[in-house]
Structure 1
Amino acid sequence: MDLDRHLDELRREGEKLRFCLRCLDLDTAVPSCPGWTVGQAARHTTKVHHWVASILRGGDPAQFRFERPADEALDTVLASGLDELLDALRSAPTTLDVWTLVPVPSARVFWARRQAHETAIHRVDLELAADFGVQEFDPDFAADGLDEVLATLAPHRFSPEGVSGVRTIAVTPLDANDAWTLSLTPAGVHCRSGAVDDADLSVFGLSSDLYRWAWNRAGDDQVSLRGDLGLADLWQANFRIGAERG
């Protein structure tokens, strides 16, 4: 997916998230993020949008400060933060050299992709809180999200605690020409393209369902698992991207 598509998805997912926010009580619990409410999830999302916009304009990520918006201003702040982030991404030079979560060839491309998927996953959180069903993702966007989480984030954000020997998880979407194999070892995690036939755990499903499963936003019953089911539990327990409550 190219930069323009990520920007389009970021805008679209931000608008969907705002729609959910306006439909929900801010104190509604978010089942996919235990301990969070809808208000906290929305505040977290807009804080991240403002934080990344600041980084893109040369700000120090460690020095960023964000004033917690009042309940009645939350939707407005979310809208302005989304606009600010989109403007910063559109105006950033292709050679932009700023801090990123992991080493990448292009900071601009990384942050456009990361924020599109950040916003998409938190849109899912609010839809799960609303309990009126989750809108499916386009297969290509979901497959791109799978590639990001498995190939880019997992090697840096999956804890190998509890892993003995080498264990493999193959993830294969049925509606996309992509697949990935994770090799889990006590020393860390490696991801390669393609699914091996003899993986310890094979995970199949539609891209949209696998995308949510990889982010712990869908249960094992929403995908197909074959092999060592304990590895699915290990993934859910050990893959985390820390976030402050909003």
Structure 2
Amino acid sequence: MSVGPTIDEFRSVIDAATHRLSTSARTAGLTALVPPCPDWTVADLVAHQGMVHRWAQAQILGIEAPFASESVVLDRVAPTDLTDWFLDGARELLDTLSTADPDVDAWVFMETGRTPLEFWTRRQAHETTIHAVDAVAAEQGSIPTAAALGIDPALAADGLDELLVRFAPRGRSKLYAGEPATIGVETTDTGHAWTLSVSEEALTVTEGAPESATARWRGTAGALYLGLWNRGDEIEVSGDRTTLERWRARHRVR
């Protein structure tokens, strides 16, 4: 995608998602289960997101991340302090994202054609948004619909682009099932589309809808964003439905 949210808008997304996550986490309670991640409690979720915020900040600052895993966080931070600890880390991350040199030379874990500062701001906007959805799901006891969450369609379309174009093609193809396949992913509200070309060796993703396809996955940008992050079940499938089943089973990124 050539156009998406600005870096300032991504920072605002991080801030809003941080508050949504913390509010829902407090309401749900730290022992509540997280429906999209059934082996997690809310404590695990809050520890994970707080750890990732500090890890991202450390990359920009060029320092060692202070926590190596969620279990280390839970060993060091008292349960009564956990949500405040998470909020402190988010504030520190946002401060770093706001004050860092725009041309800072920082490590990134995948190429996106953006500066490192843009990369980390965008990545944490989507990271925090998706995990805020997890917190809302824990509060409600089920995964909410895209419409109920009110995720901005432009943000969702950008998140789809990051997921499909950058995350999904890394490594060997996870969608291959014995023969090549072509999958069209099409938003019904923002006019975006991608073609997933599946082979044994790799998954190749290009912008635009295919003329013919093994399967087409359609929905609002929000429904596709949540569904392809395994946080929803509102994707309309035409053609081979097993393509989406394989995605859900094999593309699971926390």
TM-score above 0.5? yes
Q: 1:35 aligns to what SS in structure 2?
A: strand
Residue number in structure 1 paired with 2:247: 235
* Shift in alpha-carbon separation, 1:80–1:94, aligned structure 2, 3 A: same
Q: 1:99 aligns to what SS in structure 2?
A: coil
* Shift in alpha-carbon separation, 1:162–1:182, aligned structure 2, 3 A: closer
* Shift in alpha-carbon separation, 1:122–1:92, aligned structure 2, 3 A: same
Deviation at 1:6, TM superposition (A): 0.5
* Amino acid aligned to 1:216: N
Q: Which runs of 4+ in 1 moved over 6 A?
A: none
* Amino acid aligned to 1:49: H
1:112 aligned to 2:126?
no
Q: Could you tell me whether the CA contact under 8 Å between 2:11 and 2:121 is conserved in 1?
A: yes
1:6 aligned to 2:10?
yes
Query: Distance in 2 between the 1:98 and 1:235 partners?
Result: 31
Write out per-residue CA displacement over residues 128-150 of structure 1, whole angstroms, 9 at most, x where no aligned residue. 12227451201111111111111
**From 218, 221, 225, the counterpart of 1:211:** 225
Query: Distance in 1 between the 2:95 and 2:85 partners?
Result: 15
Residue number in structure 2 paired with 1:83: 91
Query: Distance in 2 between the 1:182 and 1:76 partners?
Result: 41
Residue number in structure 1 paired with 2:198: 184
* Amino acid aligned to 1:114: R
Residue number in structure 2 paired with 1:92: 100
Q: Could you tell me whether the CA contact under 8 Å between 1:159 and 1:239 is conserved in 2?
A: no
Write out per-residue CA displacement over residues 95-153 of structure 1, whole angstroms, 9 at most, x where no aligned residue. 22211121233111111011000000011111112227451201111111111111111
Q: 2:206 aligns to what SS in structure 1?
A: strand
1:126 aligned to 2:130?
no
**From 164, 167, 172, the counterpart of 2:181:** 167
Query: Distance in 1 between the 2:33 and 2:218 partners?
Result: 30
**From 27, 30, 39, the counterpart of 1:23:** 27
Specify every segment of 5 or more residues in structure 1 that has no aligned partner in the other structure, as ranges.
Answer: none
TM-score (norm 1): 0.91
Deviation at 1:163, TM superposition (A): 3.1
* Shift in alpha-carbon separation, 1:80–1:188, aligned structure 2, 3 A: same
Query: Distance in 1 between the 2:15 and 2:44 partners?
Result: 20
Q: Could you tell me whether the CA contact under 8 Å between 1:143 and 1:208 is conserved in 2?
A: yes
Query: Distance in 1 between the 2:97 and 2:157 partners?
Result: 22
Residue number in structure 2 paired with 1:36: 40
Q: 2:238 aligns to what SS in structure 1?
A: strand
Q: Could you tell me whether the CA contact under 8 Å between 1:13 and 1:120 is conserved in 2?
A: yes
Q: Could you tell me whether the CA contact under 8 Å between 2:176 and 2:198 is conserved in 1?
A: no
Query: Distance in 2 between the 1:197 and 1:149 partners?
Result: 22
Q: CA RMSD in A?
A: 1.8
**From 131, 136, 156, the counterpart of 2:170:** 156
Query: Distance in 2 between the 1:159 and 1:138 partners?
Result: 30
Deviation at 1:162, TM superposition (A): 4.7
Write out per-residue CA displacement over residues 4-31 of structure 1, whole angstroms, 9 at most, x where no aligned residue. 1101111111111111011012111111
